[in-house]
Amino acid sequence: MRKTSKNERTKQVQFRMSEKLHLELRKVLLDNGMSMADLFNDTAKKYIEMQYQNRGEKK
């Protein structure tokens, strides 16, 4: 078995949301062929970029 380097490891994030919101989100994601992980990774990247832009910084 190959060991993964620290650069290849991912972190798990746990959060709480209402059951109704969770079911609605899962349905929309399923309809769009998108995973929850993809949604949150994309959203996190966009949020970080927006924060840099608001501060006038570059990545």
Q: 20-36 pLDDT, tens per residue?
A: 999 999 999 999 999 99
Copy the structure tokens of residue 33.
């062929």
SS3 15: coil
Provide the pLDDT confidence category of residue 59 given band limits of 50, 70 and 90: low
Judged by phi (left if over 0) then psi (alpha if -120 to 50, else beta), residue 44 lies in: alpha
Q: Which residue has the higher pLDDT, 21 or 10?
A: 21
Q: Say which residue, 15 or 57, is predicted with more confidence.
A: 15
Span 50-55, average pLDDT:
93
pTM above 0.85, yes or no: no
The owner of tokens 């078995």 is: 1
13: left (phi over 0), alpha (psi -120 to 50) or beta: beta
